[in-house]
Amino acid sequence: MTNSGILADPPTNRESNDDYFRTLLGLFSVVHRLGRLGNLLWRKVSYLPDIIFTAAGTMPAARAEGHDMNTRCLIIVAALAAATASVAGPMADASAAVIKGPEVATASSSAVWDTNRACLVVPNGMMQCFTTLAKMRARSAQLASSGVGTSYCPVTLFAGVNYTGQALEVTGQGYWINLSDYGFDNVAVSFAGTGCGFHLAQGTYGAGYWYPGNTGPWSSSPDMGPGWDDVVSSVYIY
């Protein structure tokens, strides 16, 4: 009985080993199939660089067939960068060119205002002039969004009532801005402020009387009225 029990053990071990090897063979089969599927997918994706290069107009003279996976990935990234640059670059340059006007040091000569509808004083003290008020406002919005200084609070002066006529936009806080430097002395009839308070003075550097009406944040006046139309010579923004 004892010998019979000993002889019965080996078949059980062989069956266990057979199950183990069958499991391994099954796993190898799955890995092999996954490898074939991955290779098939890669062959499909490998055409992507050619498509991107063709769209970007930068197809290489000869296509390298022997690249490994890392090299092909680098090709795809480079092609995407080339395609993006070829489309985004010209658009960015065009948008900047549309709204930026020519800079002039001062506008004491009337010739600047003879050919322009609106001008603004940029933070460096130079003046940019435009043929339309809309173009000047577009440039002003660009300066505001660029984060110039701690705050950007322009004041716009108009030569006519109800915010009409030629316009000058000034900015810069903490000092008097003399309008004679920009050809707008004794010209303003109406004005519109933004988020900062300001003062309007009769003389240069704040001399003389100051406009008694509201000049707090976001204040405006369609007509400063008798005694103040065509009188303002300097502006102080605070």
pLDDT band at 104 (very low <50, low <70, confident <90, very high): low
Query: Residue 178's CB: how many other CB atoms inside 10 A?
Result: 18
* Residue 26 confidence (pLDDT) above 60: yes
β-sheet bridge partners, residue 39: none
Q: Distance (Å, rounded) from C-alpha 214 to C-alpha 155?
A: 13
First to last CA, the chain: 110
pLDDT in tens, 125-181: 888 999 999 999 999 999 888 866 557 899 999 999 999 999 999 998 999 999 999
Q: Characterize 131-141 residue by residue with b for buried, 16 or more Cβ atoms within 10 angstroms of its Cβ, and e for exposed.
A: eebebbbebbe
pLDDT of residue 111: 72
Q: Distance (Å, rounded) from C-alpha 218 to C-alpha 139?
A: 20
* Residue 3 confidence (pLDDT) above 50: no
How many residues make up the chain in this entry? Answer: 238
What is the helix (H) or strand (E) element at residue 45, kind and residue range?
A: helix 2-45
Please tell me which residue, 27 or 68, carries the higher pLDDT value: 27
Please tell me which residue, 235 or 23, carries the higher pLDDT value: 235
What CATH code would you report for 103-237?
Answer: 2.60.20.10
Residue ranges per domain, the chain?
A: 2-96, 103-237
* Residue 197 confidence (pLDDT) above 90: yes
Q: Determine the Cα angle at 213 with ends 162 and 170, to 5°.
A: 65
The CA R_g of the chain, rounded to the nearest whole Å, is: 38
pLDDT in tens, 34-77: 666 555 555 554 554 554 444 455 545 444 444 455 445 444 43
Please list, in sequence order, all residues whose beta carbon lies within 8 angstroms of the beta carbon of residue 159, skipping any fewer than 6 positions away.
165, 166, 167, 184, 187, 188, 189
Please list, in sequence order, all residues whose beta carbon lies within 8 angstroms of the beta carbon of residue 160, skipping any fewer than 6 positions away.
166, 189, 190
Q: Distance (Å, rounded) from C-alpha 37 to C-alpha 129?
A: 64
Instruction: State the chain's mean pLDDT as an integer.
Output: 72
* Residue 109 confidence (pLDDT) above 80: no
What single letter denotes the amino acid at residue 27? Answer: L
Phi then psi dihedrals of residue 97, to 5 deg? -70, -25
| Six token digits for residue 128 | 């940019």
CB 236 within 8 A of CB 173: no
Quick one: DSSP state of residue 210? B
* Residue 94 confidence (pLDDT) above 60: no
Query: Residue 69's CB: how many other CB atoms inside 10 A?
Result: 10
Please list, in sequence order, all residues whose beta carbon lies within 8 angstroms of the beta carbon of residue 106, skipping any fewer than 6 positions away.
127, 181, 182, 183
Mean pLDDT score, 203-216: 97
